[in-house]
Homo-oligomer: A and B are copies of this chain.
Amino acid sequence: MRHLMTPLDFSVEELNKLLCLANDIEQHRDKYAHACAGKKLATLFYEPSTRTRLSFEAAMLNLGGQVLGFSSADSSSAAKGESVSDTIRVISCYADICAMRHPKEGAPLVASQKSNIPVINAGDGGHQHPTQTLTDLLTIHQLKGRLGNLTIGLCGDLKFGRTVHSLIRALVRYENVKFILISPEELKVPSYIREDVLEKNHIEYQEVERLEDALPSLDILYMTRVQKERFFNEEDYIRMKDFYILNKAKMELAPEDMLVLHPLPRVNEIATEVDDDPRAAYFKQAQYGVYVRMALILTLLEVDVTC
């Protein structure tokens, strides 16, 4: 039995298979409409995350399966002091697979060690959120046709953003990938990414402060939010905040086939005027999130599908 704890749990080859399955799901949805009939997904969300939870639920329902669970810790046994290890053993009696979101790093891992059913880490604190990374990879794969030979701009809070770190780790496994890291000084990628991932793998990268400087050479722009509280001083924030807001004017600097991704929810880091630009891919990304979760559920449940 297999779990999904980190985006790197799958080898490149396994990932190719998963993306291929997700592609087949997109092309032939009806073929999968009953693939999980009689199976149940438990969504154990110890902290609310509506988007992620509903994406998992939509995925399971699309496969003809059913869903049960909880959407916040108040309504769970956690309030009564039960350990995650005990909870998962009980949930193993109720469901066939489980997606767990937990504010504590490592909780899904602890659960997986005692579980009789596959456990998917649906986000554990600031640590990992592997299905977001799978979503990002599928989006790039489907819309660009490849995961190698890409110049990827990562913009915003690169210091604390776990989705950005995971995406870097996932992409360095492909050929000829270059990064442009766009952030204020205070929010640059930490050394355990720059040194231990990028430099160690001899990946070409560049660090810039202004989005405008990066845009012309990008295949992909991955936007994230810059929170005011992250800045050291008000002055810096005021000077730089507009650097990290994508608008129509900045989009004119970008190549015609550049894609804009965003893990969502967005607040104001992408102006709504960009939404109608054909390069805006962030809502399509939400759709790919459903497809990749469908592929993941099928894979972990070892449902026999030919693709």
Contact = CB atoms under 8 A, between A and B. Distances in A.
A151 to B, nearest CB: 27
Interface residues of A, number: 48
A61 B286 CA distance: 25
Given A54-B42, A90-B283, A48 B74 contact: yes
Interface in A36-55: 38, 40, 42, 48-51, 54-55
Contact of A283 (B79, B89, B95, B265): B89
A82 B33 contact: no
Contacts of A264: 82, 86, 90
Which A-B residue pairs are the 9 nearest by beta carbons?
A: A82-B265, A58-B94, A93-B287, A48-B75, A57-B68, A93-B286, A90-B286, A50-B76, A71-B75
23 contacts: A42-B54, A48-B76, A48-B79, A50-B70, A50-B76, A50-B77, A54-B68, A54-B91, A57-B68, A58-B94, A61-B68, A70-B71, A71-B75, A72-B74, A77-B265, A80-B265, A80-B267, A82-B265, A82-B267, A87-B265, A93-B289, A94-B286, A94-B290
Chain multiplicity (copies): 3
Interface in A258-307: 264-267, 272, 283, 286-287, 289-290
A55 B267 contact: no
A145 interface: no
Contacts of A54: 42, 68-70, 91, 94
A261 to B, nearest CB: 14
Interface in A87-138: 87, 89-95
A65 to B, nearest CB: 9
Contacts of A289: 93
A187 B86 CA distance: 26
Interface of A: 33, 38, 40, 42, 48-51, 54-55, 57-58, 61, 66-72, 74-77, 79-82, 85-87, 89-95, 264-267, 272, 283, 286-287, 289-290
Given A67-B68, A76-B48, A95 B58 contact: yes
Given A61-B66, A71-B70, A77 B90 contact: no
